[in-house]
Amino acid sequence: MRVLVTGGTAGIGAACVTRLAADGHAVAFTGRDAARGAEVAARTGATYLQVDIADRAAADAAVARVAETLGGLDAVVANAGILSRAQLTEIAPDEFRRLLETNLTSQFRTARAAWPHLVAAGGGSIAVIGSDTSFRGSHRCPAYSVMKAGSVMLAEMLAANGAPHGIRANAICPGNTLPGMAGDDPSRWPPTPGGTQVTAEEVAACVAYLASDEGAHVSGASIRIDAAVGAALILPD
């Protein structure tokens, strides 16, 4: 299987690159940090492209280059994202646009650029990384939660349009994850009902399942990986 992971230099993205490469797949990944990208590439054998996924032209060119390098595409993990805790009355319009471009528009653009390659392959998997904030407005990161709600609808739209082509799409919606964008100190986060902590490797395992033949009929789903935080309505302080 030939896989593209965006935002693969750290956190969930790096865990996805590691898992998919370990499973024997041909993996390419993007990211802005050249040093971290080189480290992940050296450790996994995956192909790294230094790309700011919010740069429209560069992102489209990167998808084309990955497809050429790997000889096509069978799966895409639209993971790239940035976090902002700016409050509703504090966030500047330029910052909101930057968040939108990186967290949602880039997911749409990556899927669209990969679409003809997935069709040519006879189908494939698109995993859109959402968040537990996809399902409720967050007062801690309000703009981020808006974009991640969009990620869920994007996955549903891609699933509906992709079904005739054998393309399936799903949103994976993790809570606070180790390691992840919210930091690596779980004491700063709200507790989970069972007192356990979601790991990036667990999210990567879900990505691997959805891309596999075992996930062939899972499409249009929004999968929470949050240790029941959303179900138990444990909200942050």
β partners of residue 168: 125
CB 17 within 8 A of CB 39: no
Q: How far does Cα 21 stand from its chain's mean position?
A: 16
CB 179 within 8 A of CB 9: no
CB 26 within 8 A of CB 48: no
Catalytic residue among 27, 144, 158, 177: 144
Cα 5 from Cα 221, distance rounded (Å): 19
CB 15 within 8 A of CB 201: yes
Annotated active-site residue 144? The verdict is yes
Cα 110 from Cα 129, distance rounded (Å): 12
| The residue to which tokens 């865990």 are assigned | 15
Catalytic residues: 144
